[in-house]
Amino acid sequence: MIVINIPVKVHVKKYLVKRYGSKHTITKKSFIGLFILELLERKVEPHMKNTSKECSYDIEVSEFYFNKRGFYVDHVKLKFLGICLEKLFLEDFFNFIDLEMRKENANARKSIKFFLSINDIQEDELKLESIYRSYQRYSNENIKNKKIVKI
Protein backbone atom coordinates (compact mmCIF):
# COMPACT_ATOMS: atom_id res chain seq x y z
CA MET A 1 0.00 0.00 0.00
CA ILE A 2 1.10 3.52 -0.79
CA VAL A 3 0.18 6.16 1.82
CA ILE A 4 -0.82 9.68 0.81
CA ASN A 5 -0.75 12.32 3.56
CA ILE A 6 -3.43 14.99 3.17
CA PRO A 7 -2.68 18.17 5.15
CA VAL A 8 -5.70 19.05 7.32
CA LYS A 9 -6.36 20.96 10.51
CA VAL A 10 -6.37 18.98 13.77
CA HIS A 11 -10.15 19.18 14.26
CA VAL A 12 -10.75 18.02 10.67
CA LYS A 13 -8.44 15.05 11.19
CA LYS A 14 -10.35 14.03 14.31
CA TYR A 15 -13.61 14.29 12.38
CA LEU A 16 -12.18 12.17 9.52
CA VAL A 17 -10.84 9.55 11.93
CA LYS A 18 -14.30 9.31 13.51
CA ARG A 19 -15.97 9.07 10.10
CA TYR A 20 -13.52 6.92 8.09
CA GLY A 21 -11.06 5.47 10.62
CA SER A 22 -7.42 6.28 11.33
CA LYS A 23 -6.31 5.25 7.84
CA HIS A 24 -8.68 5.12 4.92
CA THR A 25 -8.08 2.81 1.98
CA ILE A 26 -9.50 4.46 -1.11
CA THR A 27 -12.34 2.86 -2.99
CA LYS A 28 -15.05 4.20 -5.26
CA LYS A 29 -17.54 3.71 -2.42
CA SER A 30 -16.46 6.71 -0.35
CA PHE A 31 -16.35 10.43 -1.12
CA ILE A 32 -12.65 10.70 -0.30
CA GLY A 33 -11.78 7.62 -2.33
CA LEU A 34 -13.68 8.75 -5.39
CA PHE A 35 -12.16 12.21 -5.18
CA ILE A 36 -8.58 10.99 -4.77
CA LEU A 37 -8.90 8.49 -7.60
CA GLU A 38 -9.42 11.43 -9.94
CA LEU A 39 -6.30 13.16 -8.59
CA LEU A 40 -3.87 10.23 -8.80
CA GLU A 41 -1.01 10.59 -11.25
CA ARG A 42 2.00 8.55 -12.29
CA LYS A 43 4.50 11.42 -12.48
CA VAL A 44 6.38 12.36 -9.34
CA GLU A 45 7.54 15.86 -8.40
CA PRO A 46 10.21 16.67 -5.81
CA HIS A 47 8.91 16.30 -2.25
CA MET A 48 7.71 19.56 -0.72
CA LYS A 49 8.20 19.88 3.01
CA ASN A 50 5.04 20.58 4.95
CA THR A 51 5.93 23.55 7.16
CA SER A 52 2.39 24.48 8.18
CA LYS A 53 0.89 23.88 11.60
CA GLU A 54 -1.51 21.38 10.09
CA CYS A 55 -1.41 17.66 10.69
CA SER A 56 -2.21 15.08 8.04
CA TYR A 57 -4.79 12.41 7.40
CA ASP A 58 -3.47 9.21 5.84
CA ILE A 59 -5.07 7.64 2.80
CA GLU A 60 -3.88 4.28 1.52
CA VAL A 61 -3.78 3.42 -2.18
CA SER A 62 -4.14 -0.29 -2.85
CA GLU A 63 -2.02 -2.13 -5.40
CA PHE A 64 -4.98 -2.28 -7.80
CA TYR A 65 -5.34 1.51 -8.01
CA PHE A 66 -1.57 1.95 -7.77
CA ASN A 67 -1.19 0.00 -11.03
CA LYS A 68 -4.33 1.33 -12.71
CA ARG A 69 -4.32 5.05 -11.87
CA GLY A 70 -0.99 5.93 -10.31
CA PHE A 71 0.24 6.69 -6.83
CA TYR A 72 1.06 10.38 -6.57
CA VAL A 73 -0.91 13.56 -5.84
CA ASP A 74 1.00 16.83 -6.15
CA HIS A 75 1.17 19.25 -3.21
CA VAL A 76 -1.17 21.83 -4.77
CA LYS A 77 -3.90 19.21 -5.20
CA LEU A 78 -3.26 17.91 -1.68
CA LYS A 79 -3.80 21.42 -0.27
CA PHE A 80 -6.99 21.69 -2.33
CA LEU A 81 -8.13 18.31 -1.02
CA GLY A 82 -7.45 19.47 2.55
CA ILE A 83 -9.66 22.52 1.94
CA CYS A 84 -12.39 20.29 0.50
CA LEU A 85 -12.26 18.04 3.55
CA GLU A 86 -12.60 21.06 5.81
CA LYS A 87 -15.68 22.10 3.80
CA LEU A 88 -17.05 18.57 4.25
CA PHE A 89 -16.51 18.92 8.01
CA LEU A 90 -18.36 22.26 8.05
CA GLU A 91 -21.27 20.96 5.99
CA ASP A 92 -21.71 17.98 8.29
CA PHE A 93 -21.41 20.30 11.29
CA PHE A 94 -24.04 22.71 9.95
CA ASN A 95 -26.43 19.88 9.09
CA PHE A 96 -25.96 18.32 12.53
CA ILE A 97 -26.70 21.60 14.31
CA ASP A 98 -29.73 22.27 12.07
CA LEU A 99 -31.15 18.87 13.04
CA GLU A 100 -30.41 19.44 16.72
CA MET A 101 -32.12 22.83 16.61
CA ARG A 102 -35.35 21.15 15.52
CA LYS A 103 -35.53 19.28 18.82
CA GLU A 104 -37.58 20.56 21.70
CA ASN A 105 -35.64 22.82 24.12
CA ALA A 106 -32.78 23.07 21.64
CA ASN A 107 -29.78 25.23 22.38
CA ALA A 108 -27.18 26.00 19.70
CA ARG A 109 -24.22 26.21 22.07
CA LYS A 110 -25.09 22.90 23.73
CA SER A 111 -25.58 21.30 20.32
CA ILE A 112 -22.19 22.57 19.17
CA LYS A 113 -20.54 21.24 22.33
CA PHE A 114 -22.26 17.90 21.72
CA PHE A 115 -20.96 17.75 18.11
CA LEU A 116 -17.45 18.60 19.26
CA SER A 117 -17.56 15.97 22.00
CA ILE A 118 -18.79 13.30 19.56
CA ASN A 119 -15.75 13.97 17.40
CA ASP A 120 -13.32 14.36 20.34
CA ILE A 121 -12.50 17.94 19.35
CA GLN A 122 -11.08 20.02 22.20
CA GLU A 123 -11.56 23.75 22.81
CA ASP A 124 -7.91 24.50 22.01
CA GLU A 125 -8.32 22.88 18.56
CA LEU A 126 -11.52 24.66 17.60
CA LYS A 127 -12.94 27.52 19.64
CA LEU A 128 -16.62 27.26 20.53
CA GLU A 129 -17.24 30.96 19.85
CA SER A 130 -15.55 30.75 16.47
CA ILE A 131 -17.59 27.79 15.25
CA TYR A 132 -20.74 29.34 16.74
CA ARG A 133 -20.17 32.49 14.66
CA SER A 134 -19.60 30.30 11.59
CA TYR A 135 -22.96 28.69 12.24
CA GLN A 136 -24.58 32.13 12.59
CA ARG A 137 -23.15 33.21 9.24
CA TYR A 138 -24.29 29.96 7.66
CA SER A 139 -27.79 30.34 9.11
CA ASN A 140 -28.33 33.76 7.58
CA GLU A 141 -30.93 34.32 10.27
CA ASN A 142 -31.32 34.54 13.98
CA ILE A 143 -30.53 31.10 15.42
CA LYS A 144 -33.43 31.36 17.85
CA ASN A 145 -35.81 31.46 14.87
CA LYS A 146 -34.64 27.96 13.86
CA LYS A 147 -36.21 26.39 16.89
CA ILE A 148 -39.52 24.64 16.33
CA VAL A 149 -42.40 26.61 17.67
CA LYS A 150 -45.05 24.36 19.26
CA ILE A 151 -48.65 25.56 18.99
Q: In the β-sheet with 2-8, what is the strand arrangement from edge to edge? A: 2-8, 55-61, 23-25
Q: Cα torsion for 83, 108, 122, 32, to the nearest 10°?
A: -30
| 47 in any annotated domain | yes
The string of pLDDT tens digits covering residues 100-122 is 988 888 888 999 999 999 999 99
The pLDDT score that the predictor gives to residue 9 is 93
Cα–Cα distance for residue pair 142/133, rounded to 1 Å = 11
Domain interval for residue 122: 2-146
The pLDDT score that the predictor gives to residue 43 is 72
Average pLDDT score over residue span 82-93: 94
pLDDT at 141 over 70: no
The string of pLDDT tens digits covering residues 10-63 is 999 999 999 988 888 888 888 888 888 888 877 766 655 554 557 899 888 888
Q: What angle do CA 142, 148, 151 make, to 5 degrees?
A: 125
| 67 in any annotated domain | yes
If one counts the domains in the chain, the total is: 1
**Three-state secondary structure call for residue 28:** coil
| 151 in any annotated domain | no
